[in-house]
């Protein structure tokens, strides 16, 4: 389904589910209720809706946290690339071209190939790992002659190791999927919250309020779904930090 249609599908689908459950329950149970039934139904609505809201809130918060972490790690990874690119020139301009060329190729690989691969096959490209290894081994083979060079080499090695960590985090994020159990609980919550509303007559206002409840729940579920796939879903991130490096000449085409 096209991303532009996903939000309406979630919202209208959950609203329709709430209304269907409401009218089906009234058809099965009937329309004559006592005061005790109304009291019990109100108690059930309060407790089930509280649990349902808590489930949605916890998953929403976790997905948003993971999404923001990925966004932050992407900036840190690009910063590490830029640091090595500049530090190797400070270390020794004569030894800089080979490592800088590998870093530029790495930036192009992330932008042109890896982001698409993370969306489609949920895996990092082996070429990205190879280029990172070229950079790491190139820095590892440096033989410092001065305290300045020693400090720069140590800093570059640390940044190269961090790049590997950020890469692994990216792949783990791409492989992550929300458990089907959550979607089962979310849909079951809509059903169980809606069922006790059978005590209310199907007036225009009541139908509208149920539709609002179902639609808003669908909107929350849509946002959770969007955050759960930061590479290919409707909430997909773009490698903006790496694109900025390309604009600055690190990894520029040609």
**Mind listing the pLDDT tens digit for each residue in 205-226?**
999 999 999 999 999 999 999 9
3-state secondary structure 120-137: HCCCCCHHHHHHHHHHHH
Shortest CA distance to 235 belongs to which of 70, 86, 103, 88?
A: 70
Q: Taking the alpha carbons of 10, 13, 19, 25 in that order, is the dihedral positive or negative?
A: negative
Give residue 127's Cα distance to chain centre: 24
Distances in Å between the alpha carbon of 127 and those of 33, 49, 101, 103?
A: 69, 49, 14, 12
Tokens of 6: 């996903």
Distances in Å between the alpha carbon of 169 and those of 82, 94, 242?
A: 19, 34, 16
- pLDDT exceeds 90 at position 234: no
Tokens of 174: 């791409």
Distances in Å between the alpha carbon of 84 and those of 6, 36, 95, 102, 237?
A: 42, 72, 13, 11, 25
pTM, entire model:
0.83
- Rounded distance, CA 39 to CA 231, Å? 48
pLDDT of residue 12: 94
Residues 77-103 have pLDDT tens digits of 999 999 999 999 999 999 899 999 999
Residues 29-57 have pLDDT tens digits of 876 666 677 777 778 888 888 999 999 99
Shortest CA distance to 151 belongs to which of 84, 86, 91, 89?
A: 91
The set of residues, in sequence order, having a beta carbon less than 8 Å from that of 206 and lying 6+ positions away, is 197, 200
- Rounded distance, CA 216 to CA 34, Å? 31
Token pair 């532009």 is found at 4
């Amino acid at each position: 389904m096209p991303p532009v249609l996903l939000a309406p599908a979630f919202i209208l689908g959950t609203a329709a589910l709430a209304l269907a459950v409401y009218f089906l329950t009234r058809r099965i149970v009937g329309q004559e209720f006592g005061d005790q039934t109304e009291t019990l139904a109100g108690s059930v609505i309060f407790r089930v809706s509280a649990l349902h809201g808590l489930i949605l809130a916890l998953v929403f918060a976790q997905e948003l946290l993971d999404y923001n972490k990925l966004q932050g790690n992407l900036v840190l990874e690009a910063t590490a690339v830029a640091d090595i690119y500049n530090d190797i020139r400070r270390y020794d301009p004569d030894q800089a071209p080979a490592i800088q060329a590998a870093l530029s190729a790495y930036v192009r690989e992330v932008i042109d190939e890896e982001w698409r691969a993370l969306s489609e096959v949920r895996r990092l490209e082996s070429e990205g790992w190879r280029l990172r290894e070229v950079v790491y081994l190139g820095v590892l083979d440096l033989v410092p002659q001065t305290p300045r060079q020693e400090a720069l080499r140590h800093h570059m090695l640390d940044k190269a190791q961090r790049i590997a960590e950020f890469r692994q985090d990216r792949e783990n994020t791409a492989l992550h999927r929300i458990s089907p159990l959550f979607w089962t609980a979310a849909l079951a919550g809509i059903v169980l919250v809606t069922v006790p509303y059978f005590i209310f007559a199907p007036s225009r206002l009541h139908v509208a309020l149920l539709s609002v409840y179902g639609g808003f729940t669908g909107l929350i579920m849509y946002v959770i779904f969007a955050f759960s796939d930061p590479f290919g879903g409707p909430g997909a991130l773009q490698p903006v930090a790496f694109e900025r490096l390309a604009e600055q000449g690190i990894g520029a085409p040609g």
